[in-house]
Amino acid sequence: MYNYKTKIKLHDTDAAGLLFFANQFKIIHDAYEALLEEIGFGFGELIRNRPFFLPIVHAESDYKNPLFVGDELDIQVKVTHVGTTSFTFSYELFNQKKVLVGTAKTVHVTTDKATKQKIPLPPEMREKIEALYNT
């Protein structure tokens, strides 16, 4: 499991001061990017130096409790599946009171940069993701 902390900012909310629904995806993507950076596959590294991409092919999100400007979030990211060409992350979002406020899931597929075709997850990345899967 990987933990990511952030805070709801004004630009994350709608006119009522509540988290705008689409921004839950932005927030979990920030957590995803931080996790990749932590395991040595930050997007700068991926885009400049690796022969593959990791597009999201499925995303879903549930909203359990409202979030307001200034709320602090603890996002717990878990690897829930590692396949030949893909992996799945699940996200649980907790506010500063430790209340579950949202959940999400993203499925990522490894594709060759040149051909845009699915390819097996590179061994070095598979090792890092599987290590998270087993924690």
CA distance 121 to 71: 36
DSSP letter (8 states) at residue 57: E
Catalytically annotated residue among 14, 30, 62, 112 = 14
Residue 14 annotated to the active site = yes
Cα separation values, 61 from 22, 44, 58, 120, Å: 9, 26, 10, 27
CA distance 131 to 135: 7
Cβ–Cβ < 8 Å for 89, 79: yes
Active site residues: 14
